[in-house]
Amino acid sequence: MTIDVRSSTGALAAFLAGILAAVALTNPVRMRWPVTEPQSKIDQWISSQSTSVVVGAIVAVAACVYLQHRGSRRRAWAFVYVGVVVLILIRYVVPEELGLDLLSVLGFAKTIAAGLILGGAVAASWDSRIGRNLLIVGLVSTWLAAQSSTGDLIPVSTSSIGEPAWALLWLTLICAVACAITVDPESGIGKSEPGIAATALAVVTGLAVTQRILSSVIDRQERPSTYSGWLVMIASTIAVLTLTWFCTRKLDATSDSGGFLWAATAVAAAATTVFADLTDRFFLDGDRTSLLVITALAIIAVAFGLTRARHRDRRIAALALLAAIPLSEWIFSGDHELVLLLRIVALGVGTGLLFGSVLPSNPVIGALGLTIPFTALVFMSIGQHDIETVSPTYVRPDPPSTYFQQDTGLRGYVDASEPGAAWQADVSFVIVDATEAPPRSVGTALLMCVVVVASGIALRRRNAVDTPSPD
């Protein structure tokens, strides 16, 4: 059997680019950094991180639009390795002593670079079944697994999951450069109608910005479990569904591929309670499941789902599986490690089945849909617990590197490696009530199930979707 080195390199580059883009765009709200800054500056920093994800998503679609207009596959891979170079520079700079203002700037640079990587990888690999599937597997599985990496106290970085590993950065750079050098000069990227590009840019901007605004409204609720808090969350969810319906109609008018937005919305909603349980793991006693194990399970699950959906429409099975995930919260809590892993597998399989059944042939619509899970900030905000930041705090003299304080069921984490900083009055840390049941458990599960069902109804009312050729 002859091995096509060029195609194999392109597929590997797409897989690595998907992983790297997901690492750079994933930024869960839960953070455990050693910070010694005024509370107002910390709040601005946290707010800028969600905004930077929105910017990265818009850049991803804009980059794909531009590359499809130019029709150059070599230029697409150039976008990927330029984005990787930016991430390498950021990775090199971040370990230095940096203030939150500069970290915010680097955070925007990081997500913009991730947008270039995602947009370039989609444009370069979307017309190849293997490359397209590996890109989706890398992106979605990393998005699923990265949520479990927020438990350990990490050095100050641009996101709550830390910076991409050096090995991932260099491997992606080497593969992207190799693809740009060896690309077939006659192999170009198919161009689409200008109307599709303009509509896709308007849709991603409208959806992402609206999600950011609504999520900030939810985050400002002092007690989300109260009646008024739930009214805000339900109203925000209805607003998101209404806007998604409007956007899909606009996309259908030009490409008949709006169903991919509903699929991505259903996936993001189904993942809400799973992610909330994953970020809770660092409150539990005992060792957590290894991140490598969770990543491997996610990769296998997503790949299995995509494979099963290759020759047959699996939308009903996928939607049923996704709807069952939040409902399982009523029976099992996040304390059950095995059940949590089964949820991750079910989420990966359901995502693969649904995405594989509704994949659009146009790469711009593909890039748009793949950004939805990262910009579903309303669902992420609904799934979070009450988080309270307290200042000032004092710690004992000569403390260990990380000082653990427990008082009336509240757990706090303060970096006290600097003796001088240990006595500063503006030291802030995150505390969470670990004794009460999560306020979102049952209500959030039901709300997210409704979102999945609504998305499923919208999908089932559609005709057969515009799927790419099974080359």
DSSP string, 59-78: HHHHHHHHHHHHTBHHHHHH
- Residue 217 exposed, middle or buried by CB count within 10 Å (0-12, 13-18, 19+): middle
| Per-residue pLDDT, 464 | 45
| Per-residue pLDDT, 197 | 87
| Per-residue pLDDT, 471 | 52
Cα–Cα nearest to 295, from 453, 165, 158: 165
| Per-residue pLDDT, 432 | 36
Look up residue 296 and give its two tokens. 């491997």
| Per-residue pLDDT, 100 | 78
DSSP state of 422: G
SS3 category, 225 = coil
Interatomic CA distance for residues 439 and 218, integer angstroms: 14
Cβ neighbours for 120, distance < 8 A, ≥ 6 positions apart: 17, 63, 64, 67, 76, 77, 78, 79, 80, 83
Look up residue 307 and give its two tokens. 């494979």
Q: Mean pLDDT, 10 residues at a time, over the chain (471 residues)? A: 70 95 84 61 79 95 91 90 95 76 89 97 92 95 81 64 89 94 74 80 95 90 70 93 92 78 95 81 54 89 93 89 89 70 93 93 93 93 56 32 33 36 37 39 86 90 51 52
**CA distances, 63 to each of 166, 363, 434 (Å):** 25, 11, 43
Look up residue 464 and give its two tokens. 């057969």
Amino acid letter, residue 368:
L
